[in-house]
Amino acid sequence: MKITTELFLGDCKKELKKISDNSVDLIVTSPPYADQRKSTYGGIHPDKYVEWFLPISGELFRVLKPTGTFVLNIKEKVLNGERSTYVMELIIAMRKQGWLWTEEFMWHKKNSYPGKWPNRFRDSWERLLQFNKDKHFHMYQEAVMVPMGDWKKTRMKNLSETDKVRDNSKVGSGFGKNISNWIDREMAYPTNVLHLATECNNKNHSAAFPEELPEWFIKLFTKEQDVVLDPFMGSGTTLSVANSMKRNSIGIEIIPEYYNMVKRELNPVELYLLT
């Protein structure tokens, strides 16, 4: 089995044109939020955000297979004491573009940014918007089932043992590839709320989101050898996860440092023995 990783350096609006129609099974991405990450990315004014994003989502629509899924991680920032409405406007605009807004998953960030203000609490959740081209998309629900009932203790014990074997799953997340080991337990389907901590203390790169996030959606919406795309690759979390899960992947990044870093760390082709 051959698993490939394809990288593009440049503005994703342009680079996406190099990808053929209906060729991607899953898009998981976290674009720069409006006016956030100004130092690394340009920073888009909230009022211009929809206008900026629509051409990109148009290209994403083109490259996605009819059975594929687009997962968009986003959160509106506070502006003058109010939540901005550009995410709301984006959802409405993307529907006019042809997208179906199938679902909104909720990412509960267990360790949110600290701070105290007189008028609000810490923001501890982000949106994970699921868009589709067609009502009949692929979804492999069994792949993300979690043990029921008193599974927490069991997992905690097993975790300490399997931790060394590069099992990155964390307690409480219900993720992890070894879950099938405890399949004797009753399994249940998860909900649309994901409880994950942000990985703030990673070695070199500050990952936008924890590995479990793309891992969960890759499990849920793809099978092996499918194609996963991240048009805002960043440090490449989504791609490396996809790679280790034997999915082909495509990444686009506008900042050379990130691009080169990912290029260094990921092999363009991985060969696996048939199992």
CA angle 264, 265, 268 (to 5 degrees): 80
- Nearest distance from residue 158's CB to DNA, in Å? 9
8 Å CB contact between 126 and 136: no
Which one of residues 8, 49, 70, 137 is an interface residue with a second copy (CB under 8 A)? 137
Write the interaction track for DNA spanning residues 200-239; mark x where CB under 7 A is met and - where it is not.
Answer: xx----x-xx----------------------x-------
CA angle 170, 195, 138 (to 5 degrees): 95
Q: Nearest Cα to 6, choosing from 246, 196, 267, 265?
A: 267
8 Å CB contact between 260 and 20: no
Query: Interacting stretch for DNA, rule CB under 7 A, among 9-17, 24-32, 55-63, 88-96?
Result: 24-32
Amino acid identity of 104? E
Q: Closer to a second copy at the Cβ: 7 or 91?
A: 91
User: Residue 149 interacts with DNA (CB under 7 A)?
Assistant: yes
Buried b (16+ CB within 10 A) or exposed e, 89-107: bbbebbeeeebeeeeebeb
- Identify the DSSP state of 184: T
User: Residue 88 interacts with DNA (CB under 7 A)?
Assistant: no
Q: How far apart are the first and last CA of the chain?
A: 9
User: Residue 103 interacts with a second copy (CB under 8 A)?
Assistant: yes
**Binding-residue total with DNA (CB under 7 A):** 41
Instruction: List the single partner that 101 binds among DNA, a second copy, none, CB under 5 to 8 Å by kind.
Output: a second copy
Which one of residues 20, 96, 116, 274 is an interface residue with DNA (CB under 7 A)? 116
State CA 190 to chain mean position distance. 17
Q: Closer to DNA at the Cβ: 23 or 112?
A: 112
Looking only at residues 67 through 96 of this chain, which bind a second copy when binding is defined by CB under 8 A?
80-83, 85, 88-89, 91-92, 95
- Nearest distance from residue 256's CB to DNA, in Å? 18
Beta partners for 61? none
User: Residue 196 interacts with a second copy (CB under 8 A)?
Assistant: no
Query: Interacting stretch for a second copy, rule CB under 8 A, among 6-14, 98-106, 162-170, 251-259?
Result: 98-106
